[in-house]
Structure 1
Amino acid sequence: MAVFVDGCFWHACPEHCVLPKANREWWEWKFDSNRQRDADTDARLRDLGWRVLRLWEHESPASMCEEVERALAVEL
């Protein structure tokens, strides 16, 4: 299993990311590029047989651990 903890700003968390006002078009492109890269990474890993789990940095460590445990339990 590949577990990623995505930063709210760089990965455009729908709850916490605020698009900067300066250079707005560039930031829109950057966030879109990051989302596309993440999707490509996920697809490549899945093609290699990996299970991919993405979590947000704003989640508590305890809840992240529980989510990983649940995901691992499904595979057993």
Structure 2
Amino acid sequence: MTLFTPEDLLLYLYKESSPELTVAIETAIKEDWMLREKLQVLQSSAEGLEKVTVSPRAEVILKVMNYARETAAESVQH
């Protein structure tokens, strides 16, 4: 039985694994129910992440804009 890291499973899940790793994982999930469960947990977590929308606080945006304005003013003076 081959042990796969969470990174291996994520590569497989996002279709970024090598052909050899893909075949090895697909073969293993047919026989290893624990591996299937781990993959399902990762898959549902990834789907949940895709649904999350976040926005920075207005305070953060203002700080970035002020920093950019100050940096631009300094470069014009030099």
Q: What TM-score do you get using the length of structure 2 for normalisation?
A: 0.37
Higher RCO (CA-CA < 8 Å; seq separation 6+): 1
Which structure shows the higher strand fraction? Answer: 1
TM-score (norm 1): 0.37
Say which structure is richer in helix.
2
- Greater radius of gyration (CA): 2
